[in-house]
Chains A and B, each alone.
Chain A
Amino acid sequence: MRDGHIERLIQLLARLPGLGPRSARRAALHLVKRRDTLLEPLARALNAVADAVRPCSTCGNLDAVDPCGVCVDGRRDPSRICVVEEVADLWALERAGVFRGRYQVLGGTLSALDGIGPEDLNIASLIARARKPEVREIILALNATVDGQTTTHYIHDCLAACDVDVSQLAHGVPVGGELDYLDDGTIGAALKSRRRM
């Protein structure tokens, strides 16, 4: 018979991505057994995140300060804004370390199925940022899905009146990819996006 507190912990852990009831039970037991080294530090970390972390009012990134660290970093190029769907995509670009501009997190993509329209995304604030004189390029880094590209084209249309260059990520063969293993769509997109050497 489990204590009500532990049962509650298991229920909450089971809601996390990647965890089901069985793995949540294992995780809860693991935490309880390591009270000093894991449970209490984790509880403090969760509390701190719950208290401090908020969406950045400029770009939508998550940080303990507003504007976020990326927006206030003076070493970053303010003339380029990379538009991503979710914070996880921003983190992926930061992990790669290839982009030194600023970001705009949309918070999703246009989706008729999920009832997400333009007003539900951070598009208005992107347009406001694009109108600033220091901004020269908007890079649309949305997923290569029908919803992602529909959103890309919609934003491109919205930015038509702004004096900025609009670009988007290339679609095609991933690094390390072998043609034999790629799906038809990817090969087609790669061929369409071929460039002169």
Chain B
Amino acid sequence: MEWTDEGIVLSARKHGESSAIAQLLTGHRGRHAGLVRGGAGRRIRGVLQPGNQVSASWRARLAEHLGILTVEPMRARAANFLSDSDRLAGLSAACAVAEVVLPERQPHRGTYEGMMTLLDEIERSESWPLVYVRWEAGLLAELGFGLDLGSCARTGAETGLAYVSPRSGRAVGAAAAGEYRDRLLPLPAFLVADGRGAGRALPATLGDLRDAAADGLALTGHFLARHVLGDRGGALPPARARLVERFSRRNTIPSDISVR
């Protein structure tokens, strides 16, 4: 058994004295693990940092074996994030979530391409937290638990959507929420605008952006934990919890800084 593919390093754990077991999100084979000989050594350790893009070759006698991975660096993304705490938290959270949530060896081309876009956005855009939330919403959809944010579950209205039902994942209008308001999850406006080309709901300031991202993370986190990880008895990874915590600190960010 043998294949070659492009992949994003999700994690690498030291195995034995000099090897590592790496988890990759590959373009055509989904999340895939393999033993990297020398992976804990000085030469390859840098390549196996989460978020790095690699060309990977996998080889094993039988398909069910762990197999041997050889990796060649294609793009060292991790180094670009090391000095920025928010972006590093975003990168770590994305890699950790993909590792925990995606089933092994099942192709998820959409998630892979979404993650490439996400990493590009984390690298160059101030509004990357919104892209992160959209990526997690896309992850839910790819796994069969997509949110239905097109119209109000109660009235069918397509405007004024402000909440999401924590049970069904369907949007609820502000007017229709009524006495259930406190039990519903806030729906950040940027998720509603998504896909309609309106772009009207993008936050204007960095403070608003962080608030919207915090609401979005609470929304996707609820459904990832409930639908995807709940059945497996798992929990969202600590790296994601740290990202949520960063965006929950609303008072530390000046609210009048404009988003680039």
Question: Which A residues fall within an 8 A CB radius of B?
Answer: 17-18, 110, 112-114, 117, 144-146, 149-150, 153-154, 156-157, 171, 183-186, 188-189, 192-193
Contact = CB atoms under 8 A, between A and B. Distances in A.
7 contacts: A110-B238, A146-B50, A150-B88, A154-B242, A183-B47, A189-B83, A192-B83
A183 B76 contact: yes
B75 interface: yes
Contacts of B50: 146
Given A153-B89, A184-B75, A188-B76, A171 B82 contact: yes
A18 B83 contact: no
B92 A185 contact: no
B80 A185 contact: yes
Contacts of A186: 46, 76, 79
A189 B85 contact: no
Interface in B63-96: 73, 75-83, 85, 88-89, 91-92, 96
Contacts of B13: 113-114
Contacts, number: 71
B83 A146 contact: no
A184 B76 contact: yes
B237 A185 contact: no
A85 B252 CA distance: 28
Interface in B132-165: none
A83 B83 CA distance: 17
Contact of B92 (A117, A150, A183): A150
Contacts of B46: 183, 185-186
B49 interface: yes
